[in-house]
């Protein structure tokens, strides 16, 4: 299930350039969920192609995983103005699309606070849950959920980069 090209289910439609649809392999069973498209994503229509996306791709490839080995998506498919966090209302409006992307998967990786709030209802600090095993429901099924740092948080923090690498190793070992 995808948003229509003229989707106006929430107010993000007013300032977006493009809707940013998932990228990668939907049959991999592994879905990475970020927060929302940024400027580069809004211009290109592809998720995680800006600065944090390039770092994510590099950290993945250093562990022998390519972005085309997994499905990469966001909680909302349109860029929030000024890169603010998406609101709960915007996430709810976009949720049917996210649900359809994750409902057949074996594992979902929640990239950062917004994804963990939207998918697991988690409101605390990321460092308390990173790389723990959780379960979420989508399409009436239980799906494994692994929270990790958002790649943007890895830009300036070696600790976060190390934790992110651990996430990729877990995914590679158990799900790819």
Q: Are strands 71-74 and 30-34 parallel, antiparallel or unpaired?
A: parallel
Q: Are strands 134-138 and 30-34 parallel, antiparallel or unpaired?
A: unpaired
3-class DSSP state of 73? strand
Q: Which is nearer to ligand URA, 50 or 147 (CB)?
A: 50
Q: Nearest to residue 111, comparing CAs of 20, 35, 28, 25?
A: 35
3-class DSSP state of 64? coil
Nearest approach, Cβ of residue 140 and ligand URA (Å): 27
Residues 6+ apart with CB under 8 A from 137: 143
Nearest approach, Cβ of residue 80 and ligand URA (Å): 10
| Closest residue by beta carbon to ligand URA | 34
Q: Which is nearer to ligand URA, 24 or 143 (CB)?
A: 24
Nearest approach, Cβ of residue 4 and ligand URA (Å): 20
Nearest approach, Cβ of residue 41 and ligand URA (Å): 4
The residues binding ligand URA (CB under 6 A) are 34-38, 41, 47-48, 50, 52-53, 74
Q: Are strands 107-111 and 141-148 parallel, antiparallel or unpaired?
A: parallel
Q: Which is nearer to ligand URA, 24 or 34 (CB)?
A: 34
Q: Cα(135)–Cα(158) distance, rounded to whole angstroms?
A: 28
**Cα R_g (the chain), whole angstroms:** 15
Nearest approach, Cβ of residue 47 and ligand URA (Å): 4
Q: Which is nearer to ligand URA, 140 or 155 (CB)?
A: 155
Q: Which is nearer to ligand URA, 24 or 38 (CB)?
A: 38
């Amino acid at each position: 299930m995808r948003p229509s090209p003229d989707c106006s289910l929430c107010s993000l439609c007013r300032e977006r350039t493009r809707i940013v649809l998932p990228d990668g392999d939907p049959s991999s069973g592994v879905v990475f969920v970020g927060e929302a498209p940024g400027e580069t994503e809004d211009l290109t229509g592809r998720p995680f192609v800006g600065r944090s996306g390039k770092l994510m791709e590099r950290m993945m490839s250093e562990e022998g995983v390519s972005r085309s080995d997994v499905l990469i998506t966001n909680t909302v498919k349109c860029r929030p103005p000024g890169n603010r966090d998406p609101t709960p209302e915007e996430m709810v409006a976009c949720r049917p699309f996210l649900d359809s992307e994750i409902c057949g998967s074996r594992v979902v990786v929640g990239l950062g606070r917004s994804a963990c709030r939207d998918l697991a209802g988690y409101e605390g600090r990321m460092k308390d849950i990173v790389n723990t095993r959780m379960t979420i429901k989508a399409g009436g099924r239980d799906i494994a959920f692994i929270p990790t740092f958002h790649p943007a948080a890895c830009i300036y923090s070696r600790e976060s980069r190390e934790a992110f690498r651990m996430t990729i190793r877990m995914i590679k070992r158990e799900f790819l």
